[in-house]
Amino acid sequence: MSLGERLRHGPPILCDGGLGTMLLARGLPRGAPPERLTLERPAEVEAVHRAYVAAGSEAVHTNSFGASAVRLACFGLEARAGELNRRAVALARAARARFVLGDVGPTGERLPPFGHGDPARWRASFEEQGRALAEAGVDALHVESMTDAREALVALAALRDAAPGVPVLVSLALARRDGAFYTLGGQALAGALASLVQAGADAVGANCALTSADMGAFVVAAQAAVKVPLVVQPCAGQPEARSDGSFAYAQSPDAFAADLAALAPGDAPLGALGGCCGSDPCFIAALARRLGRGG
């Protein structure tokens, strides 16, 4: 069964958890781009993918969240964008996951009136990234952690053009206020999701910012807005600042797994479940057990 068929017909694909979380634990310096490890310490990246597969992940995300030329330009790596994306796919494939998701994150720039981002420049950058990921053989492309639905739409359009026929999933970073959900850029959830579906997203969802305890209400709200498969990847609780400037996530794997396993499919199927910041293979193994898939 293809990834697209699994998204539509279930059962939910069990994804991985936080990749950056694991790479930081393996020595990635804070502030350094995780993509650099694809070049300098590829065995570490592959080991993280393998750890998630061993925990029960059917799908792993490539180490390419920040591998668009626009974002890599902050580190002088923009000329190596294609190479970084292709190598990231090879490392994920080596872990022998059933599915490999080409990870595409935001540029790090903002649109007016909050910044001076150029959508045309973004689109060219996303097209280059999507083409490299697709040519390297990903099963789908996953636009993640988008704080502004407008940038998500730019990325979605670029990937559709760059990789026709490859499923594209889009996940937003959301805030919850007075019981309602909004993108961190201020767009209401229903309108943001509807615009993504109209533009051709094969699945939509939420990752980062929200916790597993928020996801029940998110699923209900999302199902009322759209009827495509949903992707649910919460953080491991709320981050707590440490004295050294880092953050810790205090939620237990069992509590995380219990929240996600309790989600009801409803009219829009649950296409994929996994974790985001703070989660690790222990969280995925706990979720796999709750779902009756071993782990």
CATH code, domain carrying 138: 3.20.20.330
81 burial (CB, 10 Å; 0-12 / 13-18 / 19+) is buried
Q: What local confidence, expressed as pLDDT, does residue 111 receive?
A: 86
pLDDT above 90 as % of the chain: 86
Q: What local confidence, expressed as pLDDT, does residue 90 receive?
A: 98
- Is there a domain that residue 89 lies in? yes
- Is there a domain that residue 295 lies in? no
Summarize the confidence of residues 203-215 as an average pLDDT.
Answer: 96
Q: What local confidence, expressed as pLDDT, does residue 249 receive?
A: 85
Provide the domain count of the chain.
Answer: 1
Q: What local confidence, expressed as pLDDT, does residue 246 receive?
A: 66
Q: Which domain holds residue 245?
A: 3-290
- How do beta strands 168-172 and 174-177 pair? unpaired
CB 251 within 8 A of CB 239: no
- Is there a domain that residue 179 lies in? yes
- Over the Cα atoms of the chain, what is R_g? 17
CA pair distance 117, 57, nearest whole angstrom? 35
CA pair distance 76, 285, nearest whole angstrom? 37
- Is there a domain that residue 228 lies in? yes
Phi-psi region of 80 (alpha: psi -120 to 50; beta: other; left: phi over 0): alpha
Nearest to 149 by CA among 180, 120, 116, 190: 190
pLDDT above 60: residue 295:
no
Q: What local confidence, expressed as pLDDT, does residue 247 receive?
A: 72
Higher pLDDT, 37 or 264: 37
Instruction: Note the Cα 144 to chain centre separation in Å.
Output: 4
Q: What local confidence, expressed as pLDDT, does residue 95 receive?
A: 98
Summarize the confidence of residues 80-96 as an average pLDDT.
Answer: 98
CB 287 within 8 A of CB 258: no
HEC-encoded secondary structure of 78-114 = HHHHHHHHHHHHHHHHHCCCCEEEEEECCCCCCCCCC
Prediction pTM value: 0.96
Instruction: For 210-229, write each residue's pLDDT tens digit.
Output: 999 999 999 999 999 999 99
- Is there a domain that residue 71 lies in? yes
Instruction: For 240-293, write each residue's pLDDT tens digit.
Output: 777 666 677 889 999 999 999 999 777 789 999 999 999 999 999 999 999 998
Q: What local confidence, expressed as pLDDT, does residue 245 receive?
A: 64
- Is there a domain that residue 28 lies in? yes
